[in-house]
Structure 1
Amino acid sequence: MAFRIRYHYRKQSREIGYANDRHHSLYDAIAEAEGLDLGEFRRLETQLANISRNDRKTMKEFREEYFRKLGFSQISIVRDD
């Protein structure tokens, strides 16, 4: 099943395609579409995973906050019928 991701970036609404076999997560897909380097994000995410013992809630909150600081908002997944 195909998905689309809708989000706001720099006060513009955008929509991109998403495929599980191509991207690790929806955040990877968004970063790739916008041409962002996630090296710093990956480093911080790995450190947090080691400290929090992969607590899902903590990891999700970290991802959402990090991308909010980058200027992303209203990220949602839409299923193609």
Structure 2
Amino acid sequence: MAFRIRYHYRKQQKEIGYANDKHHSLYDAIAAAEGVDLAEFRRMETQLANVSRNDRKTLKEFREEYFRKLGFSQITIFREE
């Protein structure tokens, strides 16, 4: 079964396909679909991961907040039927 990602970007609802072999995460998939450069995000994410080694909650909150600032909201992933 394939996955789909539904999200809002700049007040428009959008939906894209998602495959684990093409993207590292669903955030990578939506950034690629919208043409967003994630170089700065990757740099900051790596620094945060080094500081908070076993704190996955902090990394998740960082990702969600960063993408919220970029204009993404209501990001959900679901299986196609």
> What secondary structure, in the 3-state scheme, does the structure 1 residue paired with 2:73 have?
strand
Query: How many residues of Structure 1 are paired with residues of Structure 2 in the alignment?
Result: 81
1:11 and 2:11 aligned: yes
Task: Give CA deviations for 1:45-74 in whole Å, capped at 9, x if unaligned.
Answer: 000000000411111000000000000000
> In structure 1, how many angstroms separate the alpha carbons of the residues matched to 2:10 and 2:60?
22
Give the TM-score normalised by the residue count of structure 1.
Answer: 0.97
Amino acid at match of 1:56: R
- Stretches of structure 2 lacking an aligned partner (at least 5 in a row): none
The runs of at least 4 aligned residues of structure 1 exceeding 3 Å deviation read: none
Identity over aligned pairs, percent: 84
Question: How far does residue 24 in structure 1 lie from its aligned partner after superposition?
Answer: 0.1
> In structure 2, how many angstroms separate the alpha carbons of the residues matched to 1:79 and 1:55?
28
Question: How far does residue 78 in structure 1 lie from its aligned partner after superposition?
Answer: 1.5
CA RMSD of aligned residues (A): 0.7
- Stretches of structure 1 lacking an aligned partner (at least 5 in a row): none
Give the TM-score normalised by the residue count of structure 2.
Answer: 0.97
